[in-house]
Amino acid sequence: MRRVRRKCARGLSVIALSLVVLCGPAGAQDKTLTEGRPLTRLGDAFPVGPGDGAVYGGVFGTFQRASPNRALTPFQIVYGPFPQTQIGLGTSLASHPHDTDDPHPGDLSASLRVNFGRETLLIPSFATAFAVTVPTGVDSRATVYELKGYASKTLGFSLYGHFNVAVDVTDRIDRGERRARYKLALGLNHPLPEFASMVIAADVFSDQSSTIGQPNTTGVELGVRYRLTPALYWDAGVGSELIGPRDRSAFFLTTGFTWGFTLGGP
What pLDDT was estimated at residue 249?
94
Q: In this structure, are residues 148 and 162 in contact, taking their beta carbons and an 8 Å threshold?
A: no
What pLDDT was estimated at residue 26?
38
What pLDDT was estimated at residue 266?
57
CA 22 – CA 25 distance, rounded (Å) = 10
What pLDDT was estimated at residue 29?
56
Phi and psi dihedrals of 179, rounded to 5? Answer: -75, -35
Classify 57 as helix, strand or coil.
strand
Task: Kindly write down the DSSP assignment for every residue of 128-178, as one continuous string.
Answer: EEEEEEES-STT----EEEEEEEEEEEEETTEEEEEEEEEEEESS--TTB-
Question: Over the stretch 13-72, which tens digit does the pLDDT of each residue have?
Answer: 444 444 333 333 434 556 788 888 889 999 999 888 899 999 999 999 999 998 889 999
Using alpha carbons, select from 229, 193, 228, 190 the residue that is nearest to residue 19.
228
The segments of the chain whose pLDDT lies below 50 read 1-5, 7-9, 11-27
What pLDDT was estimated at residue 67?
87
CA 122 – CA 174 distance, rounded (Å) = 45
What pLDDT was estimated at residue 102?
78
Chain-centre distance for alpha carbon 2: 25
What pLDDT was estimated at residue 205?
97
Region of 243 on the Ramachandran plot (φ > 0 left; ψ -120 to 50 alpha; else beta): beta
What pLDDT was estimated at residue 12?
43
Single-letter amino acid, residue 166: A
Q: In this structure, are residues 147 and 165 in contact, taking their beta carbons and an 8 Å threshold?
A: no
What pLDDT was estimated at residue 194?
78
Q: What is the pTM of this model?
A: 0.85
Using alpha carbons, select from 257, 194, 196, 191 the residue that is nearest to residue 26.
196
CA 116 – CA 162 distance, rounded (Å) = 15
How many CA within 13 A on the CB side of residue 3?
0
What pLDDT was estimated at residue 47?
83
- Domains of the chain with bracketed CATH: 2-260 (2.40.160.40)
State how far the alpha carbon of 175 is from the alpha carbons of 48, 115, 133, 262, in Å: 41, 37, 21, 47
